[in-house]
Structure 1
Amino acid sequence: MTRVRKIRFHCFGDNEVLQLDEIKQSGPDARQILVAVRAASVNPVDFKIRSGKYPSVKDDRLPYTPGRDVSGIVLQCGAQVDRVRVGDEVIGMVPVWGGGYAEQVVLEERAIAIKPGGIDHIHAAAIPLAGQTAYQGLFRHGQLRAGESVLIHGGSGGVGHFAVQFAKACGARVLTTVSTEHVAFARSLGADVVIDYKTQRFEEAASHIDLVFDLIDGETRERSWAVLKQGGRLISTLTVPSQDRARAAGVKAMRYTVEPDGNELSEIGALIAAGKVRPHVEKRFPLDQAIAALASVERGHSAGKVVLAVS
């Protein structure tokens, strides 16, 4: 077995628990592929898992390698894999048991897609988790259609910057809330109305909204019920919305968790290859600076994504 470098933690805690280990890499099962990682995305779920606050990852998963999405090159295919071949450049979501912060990782065949043309691995790695989170929230769960209006809370972040572009690409009217320093960035993504939440209440600019895509929660969500039209939808990646509040407002509301879907990821890749959507990478770090990369995401306030350059 080949020995590869992986960022791991052997106990839960702050960033200091992360360390660079060199271990043997196992091969893929029948419906899996082994990928040489060129870049790995850094996501908020990574520090939630590292801190021990993510329900699906407990002590029995230790030692744990963070990282839920990657871009790289296929090294080996399982016996029943038929979607890709050795040498293909691919992107994909890593299972919740992790592994993206590494020189090699095993992915499920159903969770991958061919890397979009016209972008490098750094930008491609930014796509799978954040892109599918945005896509599923808007379309699978939010049922957004052309001509409708959507208010995206947090439109400059990793998920939000994809959501703004997806919504525009489908023909929706897009309103988004961002901080002062990200107003120009949100406008560059194509948002029709950009609301600086530090200086303006979004209720002053938004009303009769078909869909609220909530990436913020808390007081922002509570104020969002009033801007939805009757029969509207509120979709969140965070806590479960109050069904009492939803009934009182005459709307539907739900929380969801992103699911890996290679076919859907291919649709996203087609939008990117066509130039309709562009992943934005705010910062990049080498693999051995994963502590700094994760700290940057944990502090927040970045536009777009933070990515590890692995090789």
Structure 2
Amino acid sequence: MVAVRVGCVAEFGDASVMRVERRAAPGRPRGTDLLVAVEASSINGTDLGLRRGDLPPVTWGRKPFVPGFDLAGRVLAVGPAVTAFSPGDRVAALLPHRGGGLAEQVLVAEDRAARVPAGVAATDAAALTLAGLTALQALHRSGRLRARPGPDGSPPRVLVSGAAGGIGSFAVQLAALAGAEVTGTTSAGKVAWVRDLGARQVVDRRAGDRHAQLVDRGPFEVVLDAAGRSRHRELAPYLARDGIVVSVRPLHPDVLRSLRPGRADFVAVRTAARSADLAHLLHLVATGRLRVPVEHVVGLADVARAHHLAETEGRGKVVVDLTT
């Protein structure tokens, strides 16, 4: 029996509960599944919530469970119904709600994967997947950014709350690429970093005059709560007429209270594993138009440290390298 290493959660708690085990490798792929040798997987806020026990049991199943929602690697074998990939292809993929990507081998459905272009590192592809898809779909599907011009046909104004995090750092860039005038909020030590990503204005979220600064820079056609921490009533004062607040946390109680029937100024994004969207993002990276803000790359043996870094630093992405 072939065994593979996995990073898993045996009990809920802080980052120290993460451990590495050996488990039986997945079997041969069936139907439209791919068997992928995982080279990298990144840590997302959902992984941290799973580890802490913040999310419902339907999400994680039984313990010990393997987190990880995005991955990049090479196809080892394909199911008999696969049409788009062959063994040896480099791929990135977004896994379903129960995760499992923090493992050396993973079965993934063909329609959740996209080919990784030459020149794009596996660590970048893995860091891009969930956070990048969420940012893209929040702006263009949930927020309908291109259908919300600014006053008198000027570029739309976008406010990204939590602009230094994984989702926020992609959202700032993608909104700027779409021609929007971007304002970001973050802590004081990250202001220059967020500006370098493409935000025209950056506001220290702890500044005493934060509200006045945002009012002065708005109103905004799209307000994205990229960290999933803000209440609708905190962000609504900055909205333009017919503007919209988009949250990345559809299950958060504050979000659920805001989703009243008929409400037109609030929506929660539900990230979809769309191969076309992922391929688009990877193309932007390959052509140098989208930067993947990888801050740390950590080996699987140090997965507890990877979780600690993702939880405490709050800037960019932390990636686990499964080849070391």
Asked whether the two chains share a fold, i.e. TM above 0.5, the reply is yes
Q: 1:110 and 2:118 equivalent?
A: no
Q: 1:305 and 2:317 equivalent?
A: yes
Unaligned runs of 5+ in 2: 150-154
Q: In structure 2, the residue corresponding to 1:127 is in which secondary structure?
A: helix
Residue 194 of structure 1 is matched in structure 2 by 202
Residue 139 of structure 2 is matched in structure 1 by 138
Report if the CA contact (8 A) 1:282-1:302 is conserved. Answer: no
| Aligned residue-pair number | 308
The 1:3/1:245 distance shift into structure 2, 3 A limit, reads closer
Residue 25 of structure 1 is matched in structure 2 by 25
Post-superposition shift, 1:59? 7.1
Report if the CA contact (8 A) 1:116-1:124 is conserved. Answer: no
Q: In structure 1, the residue corresponding to 2:23 is in which secondary structure?
A: strand
Q: 2:181 aligns with which of 173, 195, 203?
A: 173
Amino acid at match of 1:118: G
Residue 217 of structure 2 is matched in structure 1 by 206
Amino acid at match of 2:186: V
Structural mapping, 1:33-48, within 5 Å: 33-48=34-49
Q: 1:281 and 2:294 equivalent?
A: yes
Identity of aligned residues (%): 34
Report if the CA contact (8 A) 2:168-2:227 is conserved. Answer: no
Report if the CA contact (8 A) 2:232-2:258 is conserved. Answer: no
Report if the CA contact (8 A) 1:235-1:254 is conserved. Answer: yes
Q: 1:15 and 2:15 equivalent?
A: yes
Amino acid at match of 1:66: P
Q: Once structures 1 and 2 are overlaid, which stretch shifts more, 214-223 or 257-266?
A: 214-223
Q: 1:223 aligns with which of 226, 229, 234?
A: 234
Q: 1:154 aligns with which of 162, 171, 180?
A: 162
Post-superposition shift, 1:71? 0.9
CA RMSD of aligned residues (A): 2.2
Amino acid at match of 2:46: V
Post-superposition shift, 1:244? 8.5
| TM-score, with structure 1 as normaliser | 0.92
Amino acid at match of 2:64: P
The 1:308/1:241 distance shift into structure 2, 3 A limit, reads same
| TM-score, with structure 2 as normaliser | 0.88
Deviations 1:138-174 (A, max 9, x none): 0110001172111010111100010011111111111
Residue 121 of structure 2 is matched in structure 1 by 120
Residue 4 of structure 2 is matched in structure 1 by 4
Report if the CA contact (8 A) 1:241-1:253 is conserved. Answer: no
Residue 73 of structure 1 is matched in structure 2 by 74
Residue 294 of structure 1 is matched in structure 2 by 307
Amino acid at match of 1:165: Q
Post-superposition shift, 1:56? 5.1
Amino acid at match of 2:182: V
Post-superposition shift, 1:221? 4.3
The 1:44/1:216 distance shift into structure 2, 3 A limit, reads closer
Amino acid at match of 2:7: I
Residue 232 of structure 1 is matched in structure 2 by 243
Q: In structure 2, the residue corresponding to 1:126 is in which secondary structure?
A: helix
Amino acid at match of 1:210: E
